[in-house]
Structure 1
Amino acid sequence: MKGPRSSSGGERELKTRVKTGKSRSLSSKLWLERQLNDPYVARAKREGYRSRAVYKLTEIDDKYRFLKPGARVVDLGAAPGGWSQIAARRVGATEGKGRVIAIDILEMDAIPGVDSLLLDFLDPDAPDILKEKLGGKADIVLSDMAANATGHRKTDHLKIMGLVEAAAEFATEILNPGGVFLAKVLQGGTEGELLSLLKRSFSSVKHIKPAASRADSAELYVFATGFRGQN
């Protein structure tokens, strides 16, 4: 059976609309509508993934092939665990080959092949705790973290950039030479300090906008490879 057609004769998609009630703000209504109509959200549910973000990591790794079998991966701010799911499968942690450690201040349901740590990576002891858990240093540090939004674009940009700069500093403490750092950033003109830090520490630094990122989003991913090691 064919779906409804527009007046021009072409098929049109039926979109779910959400009413604004007394307990739901307009911004909440728009967010919920976007989630309900997002094909990546529906696909993630069908395929058993915890978030649509898995397709961003999958797309980046399909192109650059950095999640190599046997690699040791640290996923910062991992909850709900979508990126950890992908990393565990690609490095072979589900078969006991690589290692994936997920760090978050939120509790997370168990994932096959993933060790979870209820830990704030900003804790001064976090690098030593992690290296002890790994039995050494990591090969890859991932961060899809975003600070809680205030609704004020400039403030939110500064918050997420501060978070990713801290994640980059953390990565330089726990990565093996040759290691990889992949993290979410926002466009907005304050990326200079982060790029300066990364270019001092990594041989290659680039920005990536995967197709799974929403077109109207300011998010990018910074991809740094060839960690030079600590001075």
Structure 2
Amino acid sequence: MAKNTSGRGQRELRVKVKTARGRKLSSTLWLERQLNDPYVQRAKREGYRGRAAFKIEEIDDKFRFLVPGARVVDLGCAPGGWLQIAVPRINALGEKSGKRMGRIIGIDLQEVEPVPGAEIHVLDFLEDDADDKVKGWLDGKADLVMSDMAAASSGHKQTDHLRIMALCEAAAYFAFDVLEEGGTFVAKVLAGGAEGDLQKVLKQKFTKVAYMKPGASRSDSSEKFVVATGFRG
């Protein structure tokens, strides 16, 4: 067979997107970045609902909290990529014989397309009785609360940072109410100076607090993930 000496097939070609009538340049650049993002392409190939699935995959590969038998709560679970990663790892479908069967509850403000093995509810976790509802659905407390939530962008970097930190802090206090002793909290934060207060609270409540920026996070993003383990109860 003749060798391909043209260079074609040696690397993927970059997709260029033309600016369409009525589309802003920023939208065109976003679309171009999406089309050329290897994690977006991989998600499509492997059937995941977005590149974010690989963030929790990488974090769990390092910290190992998605284990068979775990009881998990996914806050702001749309579109469902984190659920897709978690279900087989916690054995929510009972496919791993001899392993404990886990449970996962996904909650979001909007309807989310079903994920086999996950139980999804429309719920605002900030409601007064949200923690009781979740514990009722789980028939007890959780081993893990995880969140990839992000507040709607305002376009102002500092404002967006404060909004995400406030959301993460609210998720942490929710976790304090539903976690079993020894449990884990994983959430997205933004680097920018306001995370100190949250870190102080987490260090009081957990035996270990670490941060990680997975490879699936864009290099130009200030997002990282806090992983707090060993909930003191």
TM-score, normalised by the number of residues in structure 2: 0.92
Is 1:162 matched with 2:161?
no
Shift of 1:4: 4.9
The 3 A distance-change label for structure 1 pair 170 and 2 is farther
| Secondary structure of the corresponding residue to residue 193 of structure 2 | coil
Structure 1, gaps ≥5 residues long: 6-10
Distance in 1 (alpha carbons) for counterparts of 2:5 and 2:106: 45
One-letter amino acid matched to 1:94: L
Residue 35 of structure 2 is aligned to residue 36 of structure 1: yes
Q: Secondary structure at the match of 1:140?
A: strand
Give 3-state SS (helix, strand or coil) of 2:115's partner: coil
CA offset digits 1:113-151 (Å, max 9, x no partner) = 100010011111100100111101000001001111111
Corresponding residue of 1:8: none
Aligned to 1:56: 55
Instruction: Determine the structure 2 residue equivalent to 1:93.
Output: 92
**Could you tell me the percent identity over the aligned residues?**
60
1:1-231 equivalence runs, <5 A: 1=4, 4=7, 13-95=12-94, 97-229=101-233
Report the CA distance between 1:20 and its aligned residue. 2.1
What whole-Å deviation, never above 9, does each CA across 1:6-47 have from its counterpart, x for those lacking one?
xxxxx6652112222232112211111111000111111111
RMSD: 1.4
Higher mean alpha-carbon deviation, 14-23 vs 156-165, is at 14-23
2: CA distance, partners of 1:24 / 1:201: 47
Aligned CA distance change for structure 1 residues 13 and 136 (closer, same or farther; 3 Å): same
Deviation at 1:2, TM superposition (A): 5.4
Q: 1:2–1:193: structure 2 CA closer, same or farther, 3 Å change rule?
A: farther
CA displacement 1:142-176 (0-9 Å, x = unmatched): 10011111111111111111100100010000000
Shift of 1:215: 1.0
CA distance in 2, matches of 1:194, 1:72: 24
TM-superposed deviation, 1:103: 0.4
CA shift in 2, pair 1:20/1:75, >3 Å: same
Letter of the structure 1 residue corresponding to residue 79 of structure 2: P
Task: Tell me: CA distance 1:73–1:20, structure 2 relative to 1, closer, same or farther (3 Å).
Answer: same
Once structures 1 and 2 are overlaid, which stretch shifts more, 57-66 or 178-187?
57-66
